[in-house]
Structure 1
C-alpha cells in the first residue's frame, strides 16, 4: 500500500485524491479473502448495491490503478451505468437465515448465533458489527461517525438486547467489544466472513449466500415488508441517497423465478 501511495504522489495527484484512492483500495482488501477476478466482481456488486454510480466508478478507478501498480495479471473492472439490475443476486432467503440461526442456537454455539442475529436484525455492515460493545447493547443502539462526519445510528431491537445481555452475563462480560478474537480485539472482517462460511456448510446452507452483506440485504427486505417507509429504511441503512435503498424493493432472482412459475400456467 505504501508503494502504491508513493506512486500516486509521483504522478502529482492531490492529497485528497490519494486519500480517496487509498480508502477505496483498503476497503477492497478488507472485504476480500484473496485477490482474484471473482472477488473483484463480488466487490463491485457490493459497491453497486451501496453507493451511487458516480461513487462506484471513482472507487473502480482507484482499484484499477492499484491493480496496475502491482501488475495484477487478471481483469480490470469496468465502470457502471446508472441503471441497476432489476433483481438482487445471492441474498440469503428467510428460510436459510432461520435454518442457520436456529441450528446455531440448538447447538449452543452462541457466539456465532449472535453474530448471525446481529447481522440479520440490525442491518449493520461487518465493519460496524465489529464495533458493537456491551455498552451499546445496554443502551440499545450504537452511534458511529462516518468519514463525512455524519452520525450513523444502528438500533439494536429490544428483544435482541435482552437476549444478548443474558449471554454477556454468562460470559462475565461487562464492558468492551462483544465479538472479539485474539487479545480481546474485535474479530477481523475476514475472520467473520470465513466463520460464516463454515457455519453455512455445517447446516447445509448454500455458502454463496452466506456472507456479512447478505444479511444486510435480508434485514432490508424483511424491514420493508413490515414497514414500507423507504426514507426511514434509507436512514437505518446509512445510505446517502434513497435511490440506493430502492434496490431492496426488488425481488431476488429466485423470487422472480418463483413468481413467474407460480403465475404462468398457460
Structure 2
C-alpha cells in the first residue's frame, strides 16, 4: 500500500483537493512517527492518537488527524484497525482570545498594503467578503468574477456564492495586471492555484506589522468574521448555513441574498 494509491482512492471518491492534501500529510506523519507496517494494527493507531493528546494537541486537531488514518484503514480493507475518535463537548461560546475583530482585520489589510503584498490583500478580502473556506479559493476564477458569482463544490455539495461588486472590480484589475483570462484568480509563480500553506504563511507574515496576535490570524478566522458580520445584519441562521455550505438546501431567495451580500460588502470594505 502506498500514499499515491491512497490519494487515487480518495480521488475516485471525489474527496476535495484540500482534504486529499491534508489526509496524505497526516498519514505520512503517522507512519513516520510510529514505524507501523503498511496495514497498521488498531493498537498502533490508538497509541498514536493518545500520543497526540499527550503532546497537547486539541481534541479537534487529534480527531482531524485520526480521520486521515482511519480513512487509510478503509482504503487498506482494514476497517477493524480504525481507532475511535475522542469525544468532544461542543462549546456554545467562542474564545474571544482567538476571534479576529473587524478592527484587527482592517489592520491586516493595511499591513498588506504597506508591505506591497497585493495578492495577500486580495486573498484576505475575498475570504472575508464571501465566507468561503480557504480550500474553496480555487473556485474564484476569472469567469466567476465576470459573472459576479462562483459555483463552489465541496464535500459532495454544490452552492452558488454571489460576489460583491467592489470585490469583483478589484479582482478584475488584478486579473488584467496578471494577464489572467481564465481559471483561478490566485496563482503561484509557477501558475498553480495558491495552496492553504502559502496563504497561512503570508497571513502570519503580516501579524507583527499589523499588531495582531498570531493565534488570531489564520484563514478560517476570516470565515468566522464573515459569519459574525452576516448574522449581525440578518439574524438568520438558516440563510447563514446556506451561504457557508452547511445547509443541504440551496437558498431560494436570490434577491434577498444579493441584498445581504451588498450589506456585508459595505461592512467589509468600508
TM-score band, normalised by shorter chain: 0.5 to 0.7
After superposition, the Cα gap between the structure-2 partners of 1:160 and 1:211, relative to the gap in structure 1 and judged at 3 Å, is same
After TM superposition, list the pairs within 5 Å mapping 1:196-207 onto structure 2.
196-207=203-214
With normalisation by structure 2, the TM-score equals 0.64
Give the drift of 1:101.
1.0
**Which runs of 5 or more structure 2 residues have no equivalent in the other structure?**
30-50, 77-83, 250-270
After TM superposition, list the pairs within 5 Å mapping 1:32-51 onto structure 2.
37=52, 41=57, 44=60
| 2:117 maps to which of 83, 87, 109 | 109
List per-residue Cα deviations over 1:178-207 (Å, max 9, x = no partner).
Answer: 111142110111111111111223322111
Aligned twin of 2:226: 219
8 Å contact from structure 1 (residues 60, 78) kept in 2: no
With normalisation by structure 1, the TM-score equals 0.65
Give the drift of 1:229.
1.6
Q: Separation in 1 of the partners of 2:190 and 2:70?
A: 35
Aligned twin of 1:88: 94
Aligned twin of 1:237: 244
Q: Separation in 1 of the partners of 2:175 and 2:15?
A: 39
List per-residue Cα deviations over 1:31-87 (Å, max 9, x = no partner).
Answer: 98x969489945816x9xxxxxxxxx7x67534647999xxxxxx951224xx2122
After superposition, the Cα gap between the structure-2 partners of 1:219 and 1:21, relative to the gap in structure 1 and judged at 3 Å, is closer
8 Å contact from structure 2 (residues 24, 68) kept in 1: no
List per-residue Cα deviations over 1:238-263 (Å, max 9, x = no partner).
Answer: 00379xxxxxxxxxxxxxxxxxxxxx
Aligned twin of 1:124: 132
The more displaced of 97-106 and 231-240 is 97-106
Q: Separation in 1 of the partners of 2:17 and 2:127?
A: 24
**Which runs of 5 or more structure 1 residues have no equivalent in the other structure?**
7-14, 48-56, 70-75, 243-266
Q: Which has the higher contact order (CA 8 A, sep 6+)?
A: 1
Count of residues in correspondence between the two structures: 213
CA RMSD of aligned residues (A): 4.0
